[in-house]
Every structure is written in structure tokens, then in C-alpha cells.
Structure 1
Amino acid sequence: MRALAQPIYSPCHGKVENIFINESAYVYEWEKLFLIRNNRGFLEEIAVGMSGLITSLEVKPNQEVTPDTVMAKVKEDLFISGSD
């Protein structure tokens, strides 16, 4: 069974300040993906608790985002790390 790409949503209203990933890049758990300046003027780093392949990049720098905005999609890898 193939894993579906998981959407990464913006956590806030604001504007995309920086994008640290490219489409088809591999990302690691808690790696910084985006930087958003929220509506209160504070910068928020966006990271997710999964690793995998970016299958699509849905936003551009300076784009306005809301909590409903899909910023990227990632196909999570299913490798288990650590010891059993």
C-alpha cells in the first residue's frame, strides 16, 4: 500500500518570509521548513514531526497564509529508527 502525501498547514495568519526546502527534497523530523511573519509581527518557524520527501511546494515567498493554507505536501517515510 502506498503512503499518501500529508499536507503541512500554516499554523497562523501571516506572510511567508522564507522557504528552506525545495520540491522533491528530503526533509528530516523537526527540520525548519518555513518562516512566517504572523499578523502580530513575530516570526514563526515551521517544522513538522515527520521525515520524508516533499512532493509539492504550495506557497511562495511573500504569500499571505491562513491556518487553512496548505504550504507543502510530504510523503512520510515509514522507516523506524532507534532501538527496539
Structure 2
Amino acid sequence: MSLIIFLLIGLLAGFLAGKIMKGRGFGLIGNLLVGVVGAVIGGYLVTLLGFSASGLIAEIIVATLGAVVLLAAISFIKKA
């Protein structure tokens, strides 16, 4: 069950990051991939800063933050 919740959070985070960074989503699979990878990145960054995310809303925020960082990095690499 926790895997399903993790994937749903990743899907929502990818959707939100797509709206924040590009103004549109990336489709179901794209949003899921961006969100799941973003959740891992966001979790790492938050832990690195000495914080922890507990609760569903905090996990969505951290995953979205990580997904935005991922999309910003991809955009930066594409422009270079």
C-alpha cells in the first residue's frame, strides 16, 4: 500500500512541478517519473538541510520541490 501512496505522491508532484516550470504537465508516465525522481531528490535535499518531512502534505511539498529542482537542472543542461 505504501508503494501506491508513494507513486500517487510522485504523480501529483510531477504534475505540480510541470505546472510550475512549464505551465503544463508531461502526461501520466512523464509526471510519474518526474515526481518519483523528484521525491528522491527532494528527500535528499531536505535531509541534507537537516529537516524532515512528516505527513502527507509535507511529503507532497518535498516531492514537488525535488521535481522542480530536477526540471530546472534539465532545463539548464538543455540550454548549455
TM range (shorter): under 0.3
What's the TM-score once normalised by structure 1's chain length? 0.23
| Bigger fraction of residues in strand | 1
Structure with greater contact order relative to length (CA < 8 Å, sep ≥ 6): 1
TM-score, normalised to structure 2, is 0.24
